[in-house]
Amino acid sequence: MTARYGIIGYPLGHTMSPVLHNWGFGQFGLDARYEAWPLEPEGLSAFIERVRTDDIRGVSVTIPHKRTVMEFLDRITDRAKAVGAVNTLYWDGGELCGENTDVIGLVAPLRKLARPASALVLGAGGAARAAVAGLLELGIGDVAVANRTASKADSLAQDFNVRAIPWENRMDHAPGLICNTTPLGMAGAMEDRTPWDADRFPAGCIAYDIVYNPLETRFLREAREAGCATVSGLEMFLHQGLAQFALWTRLNMDEECARVLLLDALA
Ligand code: ATR
C-alpha cells in the first residue's frame, strides 16, 4: 500500500514541500506519496485521530497548527519543546512524535561557515523563536533579539535567556551574524524594504534571511555588496525538508540535487 505523507496548514498557500518529498520518494524508489492537506483549526483533533488510524507515516505542520498540535502527541523532542512549536510529526516505536526541523534547517547552512561569536535576530515571532533556539544550539554565546514591538522581544529574550535590544538601536550593534525573520523584503508589498541600512553592515558579518522569495532579498543583496557572507532562506527550507525526510524514511536525500530541484521550482 502506498505510504501517505502530507502537510497541514490553513490557509495552505503555495508550498514546495510536495515537490521536494515526492522527488525524494522517487529517488529511493519508495511507494509513497506526499500531499497538501488544508486543515482548519477546528479539524486538528480529528485529523490526528486519522493519522493514528489511517497509518499516515509523516506530517509537515505549518501555521496555524504548530503550537496547538503539541497537546495531541505522545512525545515532543527537547528542541521542539524549547521553541514551543512542532513542524514535523513522525512515528518512533509506535509513538507519534513531534520535532522542530525549522531549527535544524536554520542551523545546517551555518555549520559550513566559521561560527560567529555573536548574533542578532530581527523579529520576535515564531520564526524568530526557531532562529534563537538554533543559534543557541550552534553554540553562539551572545545572542540578542530586536523587534518593532519591544514587549515581544522582551518575552522571547526572557524565555531563552538572551538579550533584547531596542529596535531603533539595532544598527548600533555589530554582531557577527544578522538573521532577519521579519517579512521585510518578501515578494509583494514588502519587496523594496529591508530591516538593515546598506552602509551599516559590520565588516565580515554573515547576513541570513529566512525569506526565500525572492531568493536574494534587498537585505541579502546589500549585505553581499558590502562584502558579507549571505545565507538565503532557501537553505533553511531545504534543510528543514531534508531533516523531515530523514526522520520519516531514515534516508538522506542528495543535498545538491535537492537544491537544484528547489531552485528550478522557484524559477
Ligand atoms: P513568523 O511566524 O514568520 O515569525 P509572526 O509571528 O507574524 O511570523 O512574526 C513576524 C515578525 O515580523 C514580528 O516580530 C513582527 O513585529 P511585531 O511583533 O512588531 O509585529 C515583524 N514585522 C512584521 N512587519 C514588520 C515591519 N513592517 N517592520 C518591522 N518588523 C515587522
> Does 101 have pLDDT greater than 90?
yes
Ligand 1 close to Cβ of residue 233 (< 6 A): no
Domain boundaries, the chain: 3-99+235-266, 104-231
How many residues are present in the chain? 267
- Residue to mutate, 87, 103, 148, ligand 1, most ligand atoms under 8 Å from C-beta: 148
Ligand 1 close to Cβ of residue 224 (< 6 A): no
| Residue 232 to residue 210: CA distance in whole angstroms | 6
Nearest to 206 by CA among 104, 83, 109: 109
Determine the topology of domain 104-231 in CATH. Rossmann fold (3.40.50)
Ligand 1 close to Cβ of residue 182 (< 6 A): yes
> Does 115 have pLDDT greater than 90?
yes
Beta bridge partners of 82: none
CA of 148 to the centre of ligand 1 (A): 8
pLDDT in tens, 170-219: 999 999 999 999 999 999 999 999 999 999 999 999 999 999 999 999 99
Ligand 1 close to Cβ of residue 127 (< 6 A): yes
Q: Which CATH architecture has domain 3-99+235-266?
A: 3-Layer(aba) Sandwich (3.40)
Band of the pLDDT at 267, cuts 50, 70, 90? confident
Most distant CA pair in the chain, distance: 58
The whole-angstrom distance between residue 64's C-alpha and the CA centroid of its chain comes to 15
Select the more confidently predicted residue: 267 or 123: 123
Nearest to 240 by CA among 95, 82, 90, 88: 88
CB-based contact 219:226 (threshold 8 Å): no
Local structure of residue 1 (DSSP, 8 states):
-
CB-based contact 83:130 (threshold 8 Å): yes
Report the nearest-CA residue for atom 2 of ligand 1. 126
Q: Crossing angle of helices 233-249/17-27, nearest 10°?
A: 50
Local structure of residue 161 (DSSP, 8 states):
T
Q: How confident is the prediction for the chain on average, in pLDDT?
A: 97
Cell matching residue 184: 521585510
Q: Do domains 3-99+235-266 and 104-231 have the same CATH topology?
A: yes
Residue type, 133: A
The whole-angstrom distance between residue 215's C-alpha and the CA centroid of its chain comes to 15
